[in-house]
Amino acid sequence: RQLEVEMLTAFVQGQFRVYYQPLISLGSNRICGFEALLRWQHPERGLISPVDFVPVAEDTGLIVQLDDWVLREACMEAAKWGDDIRIGVNVSPVQFTRGNIVNSVIGALAVSGLKPSRLEIEITESVLLEGSEQTLKMLTQLRQIGARIVMDDFGTGYSSLGYLRAFQFDKIKIDQSFVRDIAGTTGNGAIVQAIAELGRKFGIATTAEGVETQEQLQLVISEGCSEAQGWIFSQPIPASKILALLTMQS
């Protein structure tokens, strides 16, 4: 209740920020995109992670406004980058029930002038879990507009493989829980390899998330992932630091 009111005030007062984390193409070893990650710059408590406020925002419905705002910010930012660099935006399942994600995407692309194929909409399996015909229709419309649809946190849901059949995704992001212990004896290496292989068979790109060490990086490369993201390359950074990163590789 308290947090709910605080969040509304914070949104109106402009306390939310978009951070960006690079994605690296493992073929070229170059930055091929960024993921937009929401942060709350709280005047007393500092930078607050979305895990601490997104669930409340989803309950109250404020997430629709927050996600729409991130989408616009991120598209306008990405419009300043090179033509081969994509932007990934996380979209809450609530957008498919209480929001109008299709209109939001059309609006963000229109104001930013961003080429639709540079926008990657990241959804989690729960979107399809709660999903209806309506959800599939919206995803199809987003694709018709030209945006790419990405399955986030792949492998953590109830019926991951079934979802690959239900909808033609453009990319799968392999959940960081599989990457974290990829070198261990828990079978995570085999899981990452199987997902990468599945991606190749279906013609879907794969991103390994949460790559922190050189050992993990070498393994996700040898397992055949197409992209990687994680602290080994960069933490999420404010927009002001992006151009320097991109200039370094050009």
Site of interaction with Na ion (CB under 5 A)? 152-153, 173, 209
Is residue 120 near Mn ion by the rule CB under 5 A? Answer: no
**Which residue reads 């690296």 in tokens?**
24
Closer of 70 and 87 to ligand G (Cβ): 70
Closer of 201 and 228 to ligand G (Cβ): 228
# of chain residues touching Mn ion (CB under 5 A): 3
| Rounded alpha-carbon distances, angstroms, from residue 241 to 74, 235, 236 | 14, 11, 10
10 Å Cβ neighbour count for 201?
9
Query: From the list Mn ion, Na ion, ligand G, none, which binds 127 (C-beta under 5 to 8 Å, kind-based)?
Result: none
Closer of 81 and 154 to ligand G (Cβ): 154
Contact pattern for ligand G over residues 189 through 228, marking x by CB under 6 A:
--------------------xxxx----------------
Is residue 21 near ligand G by the rule CB under 6 A? Answer: yes
Q: Map the footprint of ligand G across residues 30-89, applying CB under 6 A.
A: 37-38, 49-51, 54, 63, 67, 70
Query: From the list Mn ion, Na ion, ligand G, none, which binds 38 (C-beta under 5 to 8 Å, kind-based)?
Result: ligand G
Considering the complex, what minimum distance in angstroms separates the CB of residue 65 from ligand G?
Answer: 11
Is residue 28 near ligand G by the rule CB under 6 A? Answer: no
* Of residues 231, 224, 126, the one with CA closest to residue 180: 231
Query: From the list Mn ion, ligand G, Na ion, none, which binds 87 (C-beta under 5 to 8 Å, kind-based)?
Result: none
**Which residue reads 């991951």 in tokens?**
160
In sequence order, the 6+-apart residues with CB closer than 8 A to the CB of 40 are 7, 10, 15, 16, 17, 47, 48, 50, 53
Judged by CB under 5 A, the residue of 73, 77, 125, 152 near Mn ion is 152
Three-state DSSP state, 173: strand
In sequence order, the 6+-apart residues with CB closer than 8 A to the CB of 212 are 180, 230, 231, 232
How many residues are there in the chain?
250
Closer of 90 and 226 to ligand G (Cβ): 90
Task: Give the distance from CA 154 to its chain's centroid.
Answer: 12
